[in-house]
Amino acid sequence: MSVHDAYGFYTYFLALIGLICLFFIFLDTVWNFLQTAHAILEPYFLPNEPQTLVKKYGSWALITGCTDGIGKAYAEELAKRGMNLVLVSRTEEKLISTAKELEKEYAVKTKIIPADFSTGPEAVQTIKKGLEEGPPIGILVNNVGKQYSYPMYVGEVPEKELWDIITINVGAVTLMTRLVIQGMRERRRGAIVNVSSGAECQPLPLMNVYAASKVYVKHFTEALRHEYSRYGLTVQHITPFFLNTKMNEFSNRLQETSIFVPDAATFAKYAVNTLGKVDHSTGYWAHGIQHFFANIPPVWIRTKIGGQINKGLRRDYFKQKEKKTIQD
Ligand SMILES: NC(=O)c1ccc[n+]([C@@H]2O[C@H](COP(=O)([O-])OP(=O)(O)OC[C@H]3O[C@@H](n4cnc5c(N)ncnc54)[C@H](OP(=O)(O)O)[C@@H]3O)[C@@H](O)[C@H]2O)c1
């Protein structure tokens, strides 16, 4: 082969590799687009009617972190669809008032179990005891989660706060799943809903450990589905972006409800409709659009953008703090 022929051969060879790569990038983008469209449209046009979830999974749902924000809104939406509720959260008084509210409004049964997930297996033992005499859990919503009190560099975050984030975000979802999944497998029905976060999509400076803990939730959930879907179980992975809840109190911009920062009730109304229909969803249509576009740039660009956004939110926190100090 002459030098000229060899040059031609390598040019064609590299062009072929380039074309194959482009083909896979194109396929991936089309696939992501179709998945996003499906996750947005299907629940919108085919909402979960009352009793559908009860018939499919059983009549009791357990929700962790259910006295505020997303957890409380999930509890309401499930109650609207006729599910009885086991309510698990840290503060007993808040649990009692949430249970009363739901029983009165939706004529469902409730059971409360106060437990603090920052204590790790101790909390899960308390819940295990609380469930010894039933009811069997048909839907588990692993919602409880802890975020930084405001965007910080790792060295600034109090040790206890970091440990709590890991214990709650990683530990609770794992042990709560283990607690109920064997029963679901034996009954051959049940749903596990794991609430992750858009923070799972790339490394996230200034919310580093929170984001890393949500990557765990994502991988745990996806692998769990592979292990258990053969027994008829639904394992759903939910990836919300920013919501207007107490978790984001550090920034006044995130305390203003908008299309892209919905309140928890709007979010859950939509998210519960995705249950049993799609394995992965952001839970809310506008977050689906955000998720699609946010995942197009390469990871290193998204990491930089994420870091910049969090620097802005950190500034919000310090401005708010300064204003409060002046007012006090
Ligand atoms: N808000 C967002 O922008 C957003 C975005 C993406 C993902 N998420 C995820 O969504 C989930 C819910 O977030 P949220 O914004 O709804 O939170 P939230 O408004 O702060 O509510 C937290 C709930 O969890 C309970 N809780 C807190 N610490 C607990 C503990 N150690 N043990 C037991 N219960 C505890 C709280 O009740 P007590 O006060 O009684 O303890 C409350 O009911 C989290 O997993 C979060 O990571 C949120």
Tell me the pairing of strands 234-238 and 110-114: unpaired
Residue 67: its pLDDT value, please? 98
Taking the centre of ligand 1 as the mean of its atom positions, its distance from the CA of residue 263, in whole angstroms, is 13
Cβ-count burial 199-229 (b if 16+ within 10 Å, e if not): bbbbbbbbbbbbbbbbbbbbebbeebbeebe
Q: pLDDT value at position 36? A: 79
The token pair at 328 is 């006090």
Buried/exposed code over 286-296 (b: 16+ C-beta within 10 A; e: otherwise): bbbbbbbebbe
Our answer on whether the CB atom of 97 is closer than 6 Å to any ligand 1 atom is no
Probe residue for ligand 1, chosen from 90, 112, 242 as the CB with the greatest number of ligand atoms within 8 Å: 90
Tens-digit pLDDT profile for residues 56-112: 999 999 999 999 999 999 999 999 999 999 999 999 999 999 999 999 999 999 999
Test site for ligand 1: of 62, 63, 87, 89, most ligand atoms within 8 A of the Cβ: 89
**What's the number of CA atoms in the CB half-sphere (13 Å) around residue 25?**
10
d(CA 267, CA 282): 10
Q: What is the pLDDT of residues 15-63, one digit of tens each?
A: 999 999 999 888 888 888 887 787 777 776 677 777 789 999 999 999 9
The pLDDT value recorded for residue 138 is 98
Looking at residue 45, what is its pLDDT?
Answer: 67
Ligand 1 center to 66 CA (angstroms): 8
Amino acid at 132: E
- Tell how far the Cα of 44 is from the centroid of ligand 1, in angstroms: 26
- Whole-number pLDDT of residue 325: 86
Q: What does the domain layout of the chain look like in residue ranges?
A: 48-327
Evaluate: CB of 251 within 6 angstroms of ligand 1.
no
Domain 48-327 has CATH 3.40.50.720: yes
pLDDT, tens digit, for every residue of 247-282? 999 999 999 999 999 999 999 999 999 999 999 999
- Tell me the C-alpha distance between 10 and 202, whole Å: 36
Q: How far is it, in rounded angstroms, from Cα 217 to Cα 166?
A: 11
Percent of the chain whose pLDDT exceeds 90 = 83
**Single-letter code of the amino acid located at 112:** I
Ligand 1 binding pocket includes 244 (Cβ within 6 Å): no
What is the distance in A from the centroid of ligand 1 to the CA of 4? Answer: 66
Nearest CA to ligand 1 atom 38: 90
Quick check: CB of 68 below 6 Å from ligand 1? yes
Contact 70 CB / ligand 1 (< 6 Å) = yes
165 within ligand 1 shell (Cβ under 6 A): no
Q: Which of 147, 160, 209 to mutate to test the pocket of ligand 1 (most atoms within 8 A of CB)?
A: 147
pLDDT score of 260: 96
Task: State in Å: Cα 145 to ligand 1 middle.
Answer: 5
- Is there an atom of ligand 1 within 6 Å of 239 CB? no
pLDDT digits (tens, 9 = 90+) for 122-160: 999 999 999 999 899 999 999 999 999 999 999 999 999
Active site residues: 210
